[in-house]
Amino acid sequence: MVSRNVLREIGAEVVPSRLLLNKIDHVREAERATLRAKYPDAILLSAKSPEDVAALRETIIAFFEATMVEDQFVLPYAKQGLLGDVYANARVLSEAYDNTGRIMRVRGLPGAIARLRRTFAAS
């Protein structure tokens, strides 16, 4: 596959990826079966099909969420200016408040969560 060769050439073959075979509506069923056998992990898609597009969306979400972690932060009231960083880098699952600040349960990629922790500590 051309795309995989290009990824290898630029040193990005270790980046997680998925093979997407679009315009599958132009392929006969016998050829689809051959493609499924040759590329069992590939996503066969017709962008004209709302069901295929919805399934692709769910696949992408599941792909990225598989590596996400949950954590909890206490954002002191004096540091509420960092709230935008939280929303930009993680999904906020819940919020509560006490006398120390805003208590946030979040879900995000491990690196993003670690960066947020460092940002809070440095501020």
pLDDT digit string, tens, across residues 56-65: 999 988 888 8
CA distances (Å), origin 14, targets 7, 58, 82, 97: 9, 23, 33, 41
3-class state of residue 30 by DSSP: helix
pLDDT digit string, tens, across residues 8-66: 888 777 777 788 999 999 999 999 999 999 999 899 999 999 999 999 999 988 888 88
